[in-house]
Structure 1
């Protein structure tokens, strides 16, 4: 009797049919072939033999470009559009130009190491991210028997230098808050949401009034907004705005609202489907909001930085004020407490100096 997943069925004419993947087209789609027999057992044996021969044949022929396309074709059914855009970019821009003439069965760690060396102009983090993706594809190739052996342990990753996170000084923090208070309009709420709650820019732009729970005094983060490359070749625009759930489950969270911010939100509350930053059903996208933020910095005479510095500032000040790491990690939507500790549990020079000054009483 046919089992689920075998791709064997009994036809209306009484014969049995088994289907298998013979090859993959240039765009990564599977090309199927069939075998037939009078009994289930006969077809099962034919199918097993053809699969084996076909696997050996494909393994000898498939090159890395075909492997990249096949992997992406399989993967795109289960990933978010933001991930698909990133994967397509890395594959088309970096992987295919370097590996396209390499047969999958002949891929070695030395070839991957050469790829790392030739991309040394990129940041270590970017290269590490690319290699993580490449390893996913290699492991898929192994599962399909396209790649027999690969020495993952011999790959030498570029060392990432820890850059100091952009954090507003206390004086800049106060100047920015004073500027927002003095020149307040609803759009400037975004600055306060990041500075006092650590919310990401894309999450802020996607916030609607229905996400604010005035009874529980929390904001629900369940969406993010991004401008992404338009994968539709017939589209009139090269990019489009996408509002989707965050990539990780940990990023979906409820954050308590500070009392002063809660009163401010109550004052400006609009319809549930209206966006907080506009109080209308029209949104403001992250790129446009970043420009408005830069204008605020200039007007407040604060050195230029990016919007994400507000999130770093929130986390840094929270640590300095004694916030426990687990609570902070959950509010930030980090994947793990370890990540939060490695990123933020390093007091700023300003905070170190303040602590040293306490010793001055003994002089």
Structure 2
């Protein structure tokens, strides 16, 4: 193997060797390479690579992409070129690169009033598959986990839901269609979990319970996440709620749980986060309404002391 290889050639060699990572991750890497890496740096030979060239590439990406995406492309590139460094094909050219700072965005959640309106619309629509939205609002599972959920994973006697699969789409290379659906183990080891089912949700599930098959289905076949997300969008419109991504159901569950005093450790385990710190970073803060209520309680101490 020679340092005379072009970056595009080395990427393909490295990519094919990544048999230990999930297909969904490989699909993202392929997309980043085809859209960004190969068009801008594909013809550069490994022996010509320098830290300045990498920095220039990152700076150019920063003009057209979000900081989060730029950092993701860099992470992939660093893995790829670190492998080349370990084979003595290049020097250490990927360290000490200046990356754009990410700007944290407020997590979008349904207010209590919006959640109530949405649930009223779901009740009025009376469509069996809409139970999936309630499942997410009351357990916090991800849409991929919902679409992969089967009746065999739900034990209503014990009121336990077992999450052991997720569903996602990846780019297809067979030429017949752009994407294909993959069913696999969840995001991380912690994502495989048992979630207690609240009585309200248990009652609704018992009314439509089947012995087997996908909980969310069309004629017995699964419904893919992108399709089910569109149903959520329609229900938001009918409830008069501004559009927010389906993942907002997970955020909404988490915020409601924190409002009710659920401890972070328990919430982290229910959500299937890899660590408690992840949960704290997302949901450790208070909502403005909750902060106001807490300050009023403190103010009450002064009025009582008069």
TM over 0.5: yes
SS of residue in 1 equivalent to 2:221: coil
What residue in structure 2 maps to residue 138 of structure 1? 81
Which residue among 118, 122, 125 is the counterpart of 1:176?
A: 118
Structure 2 match to 1:109: 51
Q: Pick from 235, 240, 262: which aligns with 2:202?
A: 262
1:65 counterpart (2, 5, 8): 8
The answer (yes or no) to whether the contact 1:293–1:307 under 8 Å persists in 2 is: yes
Q: Which residue of 2 aligns with 1:345?
A: 284
Q: How many residues align?
A: 301
Matches within 5 A, 1:117-132: 117-120=59-62, 121-132=64-75
Aligned residue in 1 for 2:259: 320
Contact 1:202–1:224 (8 Å) recurs in 2: yes
- 1:101 and 1:307 map into 2 onto residues whose CA distance is 40
Shift of 1:142: 1.1
Deviation per CA, 1:200-247, whole angstroms, max 9, x where unpaired?
1111111110111234321111111223221223x2x22222222223
Give deviations 1:316-347, integer Å, cap 9, x for gaps: 11112111111111211112111111111111
The 1-side partners of 2:217 and 2:9 are apart by 46
- In the alignment, the residues of structure 2 paired with residue 176 and residue 359 of structure 1 have an alpha-carbon distance, to the nearest angstrom, of 34
1:149 corresponding residue in structure 2? 92
Query: 197-206 or 184-193: which moved more?
Result: 184-193
- Equivalent of 1:100, from 42, 45, 49? 42
Aligned to 1:195: 137
In structure 1, the partner of 2:294 is 355
TM-score for both structures, normalised by structure 2 = 0.92
The answer as to whether partners of 1:85 and 1:228 remain within 8 angstroms in 2 is yes
Per the alignment, residue 303 of structure 1 pairs with 242
Retained in 1: the 8 A contact 2:78–2:94?
A: no
Name stretches of at least 5 consecutive residues in structure 1 with no aligned partner.
1-22, 24-57
CA contact (8 A) 2:81 2:94 kept: no
Structure 2 unmatched ranges of 5 or more: none
Contact 1:186 1:279 in 2 (8 A): no
SS in structure 2 at match of 1:275? coil
* 1:245 corresponds to: 185
Q: CA deviation at 1:280?
A: 5.0
- In terms of fraction of residues, the more helix-rich structure is 2
Greater relative contact order: 1 or 2 (C-alpha under 8 angstroms, separation 6 or more)?
Answer: 2
The 3 A distance-change label for structure 1 pair 160 and 184 is: same
CA separation in 2, counterparts of 1:138 and 1:107?
10
Q: TM-score, normalised by structure 1?
A: 0.78
- For residues 166-224 of structure 1, the C-alpha deviation after alignment (integer angstroms, 9 at most, x for no partner) is 11112112222232234333211111111111011111111110111234321111111
Is 1:81 paired with 2:20?
Answer: no
Instruction: Find the counterpart in structure 1 of residue 221 from structure 2.
Output: 282
Report the alpha carbon displacement of residue 359 of structure 1 after superposing the two structures with TM: 4.9
Q: Is contact 2:170–2:180 with CA below 8 Å preserved after alignment? A: yes
Contact 2:54-2:94 at 8 Å conserved across structures: no
Q: In 2, distance between residues paired with 1:151 and 1:289?
A: 40
Find the aligned partners of 2:296 and 2:123 in 1 and give their Cα distance: 31
Secondary structure in 2 matching 1:306: coil
Aligned residues of 1:206 and 1:283 also touching (Cα < 8 A)? yes
Q: What displacement does 1:279 show?
A: 7.8
